[in-house]
Structure formats: C-alpha cells, structure tokens
Amino acid sequence: RLMGFRGAAVKPLNEEAAAELGAELLGEAIVFGVGGLCLYLEYARQAGQARRREDEQAEALRDLRDRIQRLQEQLDAVAGGEGPEKGRGTGGDSAPNSGRGPGSDSAPNS
C-alpha cells in the first residue's frame, strides 16, 4: 500500500506472450537507444564545429590586433621622426609639403 493505493491482481503471462512482450520491449529500447545516440553524435559534431569556428575567429582577431599594433608602432616611428622617411626627397632644409600645407602663404584663391 503506497499512498493509499492497493495493488491489483495481475494474471500471469504464459511463456509465449512473455517472450513476445520482452522482444517488443527490447526492440523499442534498441530503436530509442539508436535515436538517442544519433542525437548525441549530431550534437557533439555541431559543438565541435562551433568550437573550431570560434577558435579560428579568435586566431584571426589576434592576428588583426597584432597587425594593428605593428602598424601603430610603425606610424609612431614615422611620426616621431625616428625613421629615415622624414625629410627624405625634400632637398635638405625645405618643408616636406613644399609650402602647400596649412599656414602657407600660397593658399588658393576661391
């Protein structure tokens, strides 16, 4: 007597009916198990693909950040006058923009 319920009398099965019921139950369990296994394998495959895709994106992002850092360092070197680019091809003491920059007296008339 569990929670006020009484067990009902069950008539015994003959051997043939029990074997048939057991075989049906086993078949259903196998079908259910194969379906569950297929679902698990598909989930694992999708998770692996997503993980690989995220790793590739993270690697690409790291590469881009490194490239930006290198470019920033090069820009700082050029802007800071550390490189030979400053003053090259200007003929010595003349300004690099040949008087066409802001504050020059030869501004175009408009």
Identify the DSSP state of 83.
S
Residue 105 is predicted with a pLDDT of 53
How far apart (Å, rounded) are the C-alpha atoms in residues 62 and 82?
27
- For residue 100, the model assigns a pLDDT of 52
Q: What is the pLDDT of residues 41-87, one digit of tens each?
A: 999 999 999 999 999 999 999 999 999 999 999 999 999 875 555 44
At residue 107, the 3 state secondary structure works out as coil
pLDDT at residue 91 tops 80: no
In the chain, what is the straight-line distance between the N-terminal and C-terminal CA atoms, in Å?
A: 105
pTM summary value:
0.48
